[in-house]
Amino acid sequence: MADVEVEVDPEEVGIDPERIERLGTHLAKYVDDGRLPGVNVLVSRGGKVAYRYMHGSRDLERDLPVESDTIYRFYSMTKPITSIAAMQLYEKGLLQLKDPISNWIPGFSDSKVFVGGDAVNPETRDATREITVHDLLTHTSGLTYHFHMANAVDEMYRRAGFDWTRSPGDLENQCNVLASLPLLFDPGTEWNYSYSTDVLGRVVEVVSGLTLDSYMEENIFQPLGMEDTGFSVPEGQESRFASCYFPQGENKQADLLDDAQRSPYLRKPIGLSGGGGLVSTLADYHRFTQALRNNGVLGEQRIVGRKTLQFMTRNHLPGGVDLTEYGRPLFSETTYDGVGFGLGFSVVVDPTKAKVLSQEGEYGWGGAASTAFWVDPVEDMTVIFLTQLLPSSTHPIRPEMKALIYQSLL
């Protein structure tokens, strides 16, 4: 139950102490008018925490405040951790990025691509090639998500049992079901936010011989001291768990979606989602981002090599294009203009095209409940923002935070 406190005066690390207060003032408006239940934010520079702000409730129904040790659903902020896990195996020579994933999940050896018809009677053709590990890491696999509501393949996922509250069995069975469904496009030809990282989690399991939760515990959480992170709320810590909300009505008021004291996250799930299953705290995820900021090491514990992390946080889209040029205009946890994608992280390639105050080379990701983080190697800065409002597209908090934080740099 670690706390995270301010370690240095903002001005000592090049942050204007008055201008950074605009961040808390702005976020407080979201809470005070009922659009968010509560907020929890951290800004560090030079490896030192320079700004912290907490406001509002973790549980509106029980009038419980946001606290430093509040436990949150991190949803897709799980993806960078799963990606690091896979790259640890790459560093040991146990897999290659060009390897077809059918090496470990045989059902993907003869993938089909949807070309017409509907969800009941789809027309398909053979894929031009197999899905590779690199395709999973970059979301260029041809897989999709049930919630895009954009095409017949999404509907086929829903018919197969995928939705927000359930999935078809354990991770092995989920991947077998996904392998039986057609792809949206040929692997490597487009970018589409998808179950790719869940399938990557299964690859981690088969290659390592461990369940995904055991692998992460041994190779990431324990080394970094992330004691409150896992696929369910730690036993005995249920009172620290935040409820999750959704926007209701014209004014988008936060309304209860998942009661913290009755949540499925209070028990271990049948399927371990490497794409969105973790719960964690600000303190724990701060330890993870500090390891990223410090080229893969925290204290004496290294979770990934320096060159590996640099490789992961480069834009891997062909020709250096951004998501607008290579991705389908569907929901994701980042904007498309001026943003590329690496191995498990979004990467800013052109702030002027993004039209958001940011830094070229900045990388990060977000979660469905409006959480977000980024690491800026140029400005030596890390940011974590936590709340619990689903979906994350409800409010423009992420670009607003970029402006509010970068304008404060001296």
pLDDT digits (tens, 9 = 90+) for 40-53: 999 999 999 999 99
Q: Count CA atoms closer than 13 A to 77's CA, side-chain side.
A: 32
395 or 124, which is more confident: 124
Q: What is the pLDDT of residues 277-330, one digit of tens each?
A: 999 999 999 999 999 999 999 999 999 999 999 999 999 999 999 999 998 777
Across residues 211-240, what is the average pLDDT? 97
Q: Which among 247, 382, 398 has a CA at the least distance from the CA of 332? A: 398
Q: Which among 343, 312, 338 has a CA at the least distance from the CA of 323? A: 338
**Calpha distance 60→89 (Å, rounded):** 42
- Which residues, other chains included, contact 191 with Cβ-Cβ below 8 Å and sequence gap of 6+? 138, 139, 140, 317, 323, 326, 327, 328, 341
Across residues 25-37, what is the average pLDDT? 97
357 or 3, which is more confident: 357
Across residues 133-146, what is the average pLDDT? 97
Q: Report yes or no: 161 and 168 within 8 Å, Cβ to Cβ.
A: yes
Q: Which among 390, 401, 375, 282 has a CA at the least distance from the CA of 331? A: 390
Instruction: Decide: residue 120, CB within 10 A, 0-12 exposed, 13-18 middle, 19+ buried.
Output: exposed
Q: Report yes or no: 377 and 389 within 8 Å, Cβ to Cβ.
A: no
**Calpha distance 225→86 (Å, rounded):** 20
The per-residue pLDDT for 393 is: 84
CA 19 remoteness from chain centre: 29
Q: What is the pLDDT of residues 351-397, one digit of tens each?
A: 999 999 999 999 999 999 999 999 999 999 999 999 999 988 888 99
**Percentage, residues of the chain above pLDDT 70:** 99
CA 406 remoteness from chain centre: 22
User: Which residue in the block uniquely carries the two structure tokens 């659009």?
Assistant: 35
